[in-house]
Structures are given as C-alpha cells and as structure tokens.
Amino acid sequence: MTRRPVLGGILGTAALALTLLPAAPASAHGGDGGDEVGDLPTNTREASVAESGEGVAMSHVANLQYTPSGTAQNGSDVEFLKIGRSEYALAGTLREGLQIIDITHPDSPSVAAVYDCDISQGDIQVWRHGDRVLASYTADGTFGEAGAASRCGRDLELDPTASGTVIVDLTTPTQPQTVSYLHVPRGSHNMTVHPSGDYLYNSNSDLVTSTAPAITIYDISQPEMPRKVQDYPIPFVPLSLGSESHDITFNADGTRAYSAALSQTLVLDTTDPEKPEQVAQILDPAINVAHQADPVTLTREDGSEREVLVVTDERAGAAASAECPGGGLHLYDITGQKERSPEKIGTWFIPAVQPQDGATCTSHVLRVYPEQEMLTIAWYAQGVRVLDISGLADVEGSPASVGIGDGVGMREVGSYVLPDSDTWSFKTNRIAADGSFYGYGNDLVRGFDVYRFDGAGLSVPPLEPTDLAPGPARRGGRNLAGVAIVAPALLAAAAVRRRRRAS
C-alpha cells in the first residue's frame, strides 16, 4: 500500500522550505576544476558502507566500490551497454574515471575496466556509429592537473585548462579507446546525442554569472573530427540559479528537444538539428532549479494519446537540506496545441515529510519507461524510488494537485533508503513481465548499488536491452544504428501502445 503525506504535512513542508532555502544557494555547477559544491557528497559514511536499510517492495542486492579507501566514491550518472551475451553498466564519477561494470549477473557485479579519465561530472551517452560503439564523457569545469595527466588527457594532449567532452570507443568494453575531444570553454555539465547519432547538444549549466545563455551544438558525424555548428541562444531569465541549459532530452524521432534550463524549461523544434527553433518556454515559480525534462506519451481510456512533460526540481542545486521531500516532479500537458502553451496538471513528491540532518533531499536523475508506464528516480539521501505513472494518461489537474501535489496519476510502488544514501542516478536496463527488475544506483557516497524491485503486482510488457554489438547486418546504417543505440536513453519519448491499471 502506498503511503501518502497528509495535506497539512505538505503545506508545512512547503512553508519550512521557504524559510530554510538559502537566498543565494552555493554554486552547484560549473566550478573551475569540476569540483562543484552542490555535486559533492553531503551524506556521511562509516569505514564501510551500510549493508541494509528500509525498503518497500525492494531489497538491496550488492554494492561495488570504485576506490578501496573507505571514503566517498563520487558516483554520478549511469548508462547501459549490451554486447552479445554480456551486459555492462557505464558508471560515471567525479574524478574516478568511467567505470565499466559487468552486470551480466546482477547479483554479482564486477569492474570489467576503467577508462582512466580524471574529470568531474561524468555524464554519459552511448550510441552506435556504423560498426563502432561510442560513448561521450563530460568535464564540467577544467581537467586540472590530474585530468591532463590521466589517460584521456595524455591521449588527447590536453593541458589542465581544457574542459568539454571526451568521445570514447567502447566497441570492446573491456578495452576502451580514446577517440576525440570536443572543446567547450564553458564546460560540459551534461550533453545529449541526437537520435541520428550525428549531433551532440551541450548543456553547460553555468550559474547566474552567465548573461548570454546558449546550447552549443556539435556535428559528430565524423567522431574523430567533431565540428562546432553554433551556440544556439536561449532566453536570459535572471531568476533562480541562472538561465543556462542543465540537461536536454530528445524525442524518439529527434524532432523535439526538451531543455531543463535552471529557471526555465524550453521546448525546441529540432527537425533541423543544426537550426533549432523555440516552440515554448515554461516559467514556473514553483520550480527552484529545472534539472531534467522528459516527455512521455500515454494512451487515454478513450484511445487518444496524451503527451506529458515531466520536469524535475533539483531544489537549491542539491545544497544541503534541512527537511524533505525537497524539490519534486512537475507535470505539464503538451498534447497537440498545448505544446506551445504547456498546461500544468500537477506535482508529485516522495512520501517522506520529515526533518533532514543536512544530507541533500531533492529529486535528481530519472528515467521513464513508457511501455511499462513506470519511472525510476534517485532522491539523494532519500535513496531510490519506483513510480507507477499509468494514471497520468487521464488525470485532470486541480488546485491541490497543481499547487502542492496530491499524486497526479503517479504512485510510488517501490523504494529503498540506506543510512548513507546519496544517490545521483537510478535506472534499469530490463524489466520482466511481472514488473520486477534489478535497478542500478550510482551514489556519491556509496559507489555502485544493485537493488531488486519485486514488481509490486504490476503486469507490463517486458523491456529487453538491445544488443549493440556491431555486426554485418548493422554496418553502413549510421542513422538507423544511432536510433537503436540511443533508444535506451530515450525511453521517455516513445509512445505507449497499451494501458495498464495497477491492482
């Protein structure tokens, strides 16, 4: 049974949040050298990580450390790669390199290789280019002495002032090879590969010091020789932490991009990836820091389709928290003509209304699985969460749902919180027909965690990872291959073809 916070509890939390939010949050992103204050761990650990915590329909399976020092492990983003019968999690880190983890047997993960690239942020994208599998790995801020001295810096002959994105060949995952480097003077907080596999959109996430915000577009159709296309200007909105793009998601056919840009959220027409055009701008004072914006298409009871945009609020840029639930999920109807003037239909927060001892409590990296009508999300010190989003297709917004959150067609069906959780991202690469799956959390304090969600009585279409191993049948089809490999990272944009009612 899903617990819901009482109305008064949420109102009290909202009031407390207004009281406790710092007027000028500490710099969360874009710090020189990549050590962004808001991206550093806020929770604490003992000599070893905690082995058990509190869960609902979930259990903790395994933990893997990146360094043996017993200190914070600095895990960030996570993506997946399947080559033949082998499955891998690609775990980014702050200054610990790209960890390539064998998850073929999820209950016993092991490090298959480490791409030595001592840079901070470690956002990851993966795509197929002809007969190669490529990945991008980001440096937000400069490489610094350590980054320049690590393998990627040496291979590319970079100096400590370098910043931007490294492209890596993972065709043989156990032997990663440096391919090239995209010089981004303002850094790569996040980057997103267009479904064609030919373009990369960079989000620098600079703070209020930036008065000319822009999304930098690169042509990566020739991976060894990436070419800058343009700095696409976006509106300057001197609110919250700034106006720059923090993260971008494309829809499945690449005709739309959704940019969560700190004080605003943008819908862009990317039919021509080199020349995007703004379709809509969302200015929502209820969102402190627009962190991620993912679309999902759902089928209503009457058979028509509804498109919903899910925007996460990384409140105060992940500064230390005095209470929970922190920033939540904000939902907008962007169906048809509403795309140009999105209609807010509600908000959702984790059912944890409580004081917090300084460890960060707010929403962070999510993934939507539209065919399964599910969502996974990391919530820093409040661990990992699984949501049933099937009700979003037909829910109608009300003053309560829009203003303070009363479920809006979403319900939490699984969660797990460890005493030292500080989880950055939580995703899965496969889901069984009963809704169960192994989920993978990348944690600033703990490193790599494996969880098991029992399915909570759901009945869903299974999700299977795509075998990305290049082969004769795939060679020569760059654009099609690009769509195939990026598809796991674009699940939020695919159309749902069936409805599920949770029991």
- 182 pLDDT more than 80: yes
CA distances from 481 to 133, 221, 337 (A): 10, 12, 32
- What distance in Å separates the CA atoms of residue 348 and residue 68, rounded to the nearest whole number? 38
Are the C-beta atoms of residues 331 and 52 closer than 8 Å to each other? no
- CB contact at 8 A, 420 and 445: yes
Structure token pair of residue 315 = 């409140």
pLDDT at 487 over 70: no
Contact 8, 302 (CB under 8 A): no
- CB neighbours of residue 328 within 10 Å: 23
pLDDT at residue 255 is higher than 80: yes
**Higher pLDDT, residue 498 or 277:** 277
With a cut of 70, say whether residue 479 has pLDDT above it. Answer: no
Q: Per residue in 74-111, pLDDT tens?
A: 999 999 999 999 999 999 999 999 999 999 999 999 99
- Structure tokens, 49: 């990580």
Of the candidate ranges 6-10, 84-88, 230-234, the one whose mean pLDDT is the lowest: 6-10
pLDDT digits (tens, 9 = 90+) for 121-140: 999 999 999 999 999 999 99
The predicted model scores a pTM of 0.89
Greatest mean pLDDT among 27-41, 215-229, 395-409 lies in: 215-229
What Å distances lie between residue 300 and 174, 304, 307, 347, CA to CA? 45, 5, 10, 19
pLDDT at 238: 80
Confidence at residue 230, expressed as pLDDT on a 0 to 100 scale: 97
DSSP H stretches of helix in 80-223: 144-149, 151-156
CA separation for the pair 478, 486 (Å, rounded): 12
Average pLDDT over residues 214-220: 97
Average pLDDT (161-189) is 96
Write down the pLDDT at residue 401: 66
Report, as an integer, the average pLDDT of 206-232. Answer: 93
Residue 430 clears pLDDT 80, i.e. is over it: yes
Q: Is 155 left (phi over 0), alpha (psi -120 to 50) or beta?
A: alpha
**pLDDT beyond 80 at 15:** no
User: For residues 193 and 184, what is the distance between their CA atoms, to the nearest angstrom?
Assistant: 15
DSSP 26: P
CA distances from 94 to 120, 124, 379, 447 (A): 4, 12, 18, 11
Residue 128, CB half-sphere, CA atoms under 13 Å: how many? 26
- CA 74 from centre of chain: 16
Q: Is the pLDDT of residue 9 over 70?
A: no
The residues, ordered by sequence, that sit 6+ positions from 321 with a Cβ below 8 Å of its Cβ are 42, 356, 358, 359, 360, 361, 362, 380, 381
Count CB neighbours of 175 within 10 A.
Answer: 12
Poorest-confidence range of 63-72, 270-279, 338-347, 354-363? 63-72
The closest of 289, 192, 279 to 242, measured between CA atoms, is: 289
**How would you class 434 by CB atoms within 10 Å of its CB: exposed for 0-12, middle for 13-18, buried for 19 or more?**
middle
Residues ≥6 apart with Cβ < 8 Å to 357:
none
pLDDT at 287 over 60: yes
| pLDDT at position 443 | 98
Q: Which residue has the higher pLDDT, 462 or 484?
A: 462
Report the mean per-residue pLDDT for the chain.
86
348 vs 486 pLDDT, higher one: 348
What residues contact residue 295 under an 8 Å CB cut-off, 6+ apart?
A: 249, 251, 256, 258, 307, 308, 309, 310, 334, 492, 493
Greatest CA separation for the chain: 61
pLDDT tens profile 455-478: 999 999 999 998 888 765 433 333
Residue 179 clears pLDDT 60, i.e. is over it: yes
pLDDT, tens digit, for every residue of 400-428?
666 666 668 899 999 999 999 999 999 99
Nearest partner of 492 among 192, 269, 270, judged by Cα? 192
> Any idea which fold 56-493 has?
Methylamine Dehydrogenase; Chain H (2.130.10)
Distance of alpha carbon 362 from alpha carbon 365, whole angstroms: 10
How far apart are the C-alpha atoms of 209 and 187, rounded to whole Å? 14
Closest among 283, 207, 220 to 31, alpha carbons compared? 207
pLDDT at 20 over 50: no
